[in-house]
Structure 1
Amino acid sequence: MNKVVVFQLGNEQYAIPIEQVVSIEKMAAPTVIPQMPDYMLGVVRIRGELVPVLDMVKILYRHSYIQTEKTRLIVVQTEDLVVAFIADDAKEILDIPSEAMKKLNMLAYRQTPYFLGVANLPERLITLIDANRLFESLEGMQVIKERIKENQS
C-alpha cells in the first residue's frame, strides 16, 4: 500500500508519497527573488521558514499555471530543503494498492526519472512523482539552494 497526496495539474492527476509532504497550503503571493530559474516564482514564508515556490505546470508542461481559488502549494521536504510545488488543486490523501502500481519503461520516462510509476485505478490514472528526484533534476536547482541558504542565515 502506498499512501500518497493526490493533486491536479491541468487534466492530469499526480501524487507524491505522503512521507515527502510537509503540508498543503493556500496559494500565497511569492516574494520574487531576481535571477532565479523561470519555474521558481519566488519564496513564501511558511511557519517562519523561507520556502521556494516552484511552478509544476511550467516544469512539466512548459507554460505557466493559472491561479484559481483551488490553487494550492504542496510543501515537500527534499534532501536539502523544503520546497512548495504549485498545483491546480490538492485532491486527497489516497492509499494506492501495490498491485495497482505500474512501472514505466517507455523511452520518454528516461528523461523524467522522477516519475515512480502510474497508479492504474478503476476510474483514473495517477502518476507518482518522487519530489526529491524531481527537485534534483531541475536545471538551476543548485542556485536555488544557495540563495535560500543565504537568506536563512
Structure 2
Amino acid sequence: MLFLYFRIGDEGFAMAIERIVEVVPLTELKKVRGAPDAVAGSFEYRGRFVPVIDLCTLELGRSARRRLSTRIIVMRHPQDDTVLLGLIAEKATEMLRLDPAEFAPFAPGPHGLVQRVELEDLLPVALLAAIRGQPVTSQ
C-alpha cells in the first residue's frame, strides 16, 4: 500500500494516499477571520477556496517551519468527497510502500519509526464538522 510520509515536529507519520488529491508547495494563505488557531487560512486550488490546517499548530502550538519540504496536502473530507481541505505538514515529500500489517503501531520509515494515521486521528471532530459546514452534534 502507498503512504505519504510527513512529520509533525520530531514525529514521523504515514497516511494512506486514498483521500489525498495532491501535495502542493506551501503558498501564501488568506486568513479566515474568527477561525481557530490551527486554521492557517485558505487558498485557491483549481478554482476553489480550500481551508488549510497547520498540523504543527494543532499538535505543538507552533506554526510549521517554512521550508521547501513543508507542503500542503490537499485531501477529500472523510464525510464528503466534494469538500476539500488542506493540511500543512513538514517534510511531506516522500512516499512509502508498506504493508498495513507492518504498523504495530510503528513501521520502519526513511528517518526512523513512523506511525500510521488517518485524517480523523489528526483533526478534532468539531474542526472536521466546521470545515464541512455542518453543525457540531454530540455523539
Report the TM-score, using the length of structure 2 for normalisation. Answer: 0.81
SS in 2 for 1:142: helix
Per residue, is there more helix in 1 or in 2? 1
Specify every segment of 5 or more residues in structure 1 that has no aligned partner in the other structure, as ranges: 104-117, 148-153
Structure 1 partner of 2:131: 144
- Aligned-pair distance for 1:46? 0.9
RMSD: 2.2
After TM superposition, the runs of 4+ consecutive aligned structure 1 residues lying more than 4 A away are: none
In the aligned structure 2, how far is the partner of 1:138 from the partner of 1:62? 19
Structure 1 partner of 2:32: 33
- Aligned-pair distance for 1:88? 1.6
Structure 1 counterpart of 2:64, one-letter code:
Y
In the aligned structure 2, how far is the partner of 1:97 from the partner of 1:140? 30
- Aligned-pair distance for 1:91? 2.9
Contact 1:8 1:14 in 2 (8 A): yes
- Aligned-pair distance for 1:100? 1.8
In 2 relative to 1, CA 91–69 (structure 1 residues): closer, same or farther, beyond 3 Å? closer
Give % identity: 24
In the aligned structure 2, how far is the partner of 1:73 from the partner of 1:10? 16
Specify every segment of 5 or more residues in structure 2 that has no aligned partner in the other structure, as ranges: 135-139
Aligned residues: 131
Q: Tell me which of 112, 118, 129 is aligned to 2:117.
A: 129
In the aligned structure 1, how far is the partner of 2:128 from the partner of 2:115? 23
Contact 1:36 1:143 in 2 (8 A): no
Report the TM-score, using the length of structure 1 for normalisation. Answer: 0.74
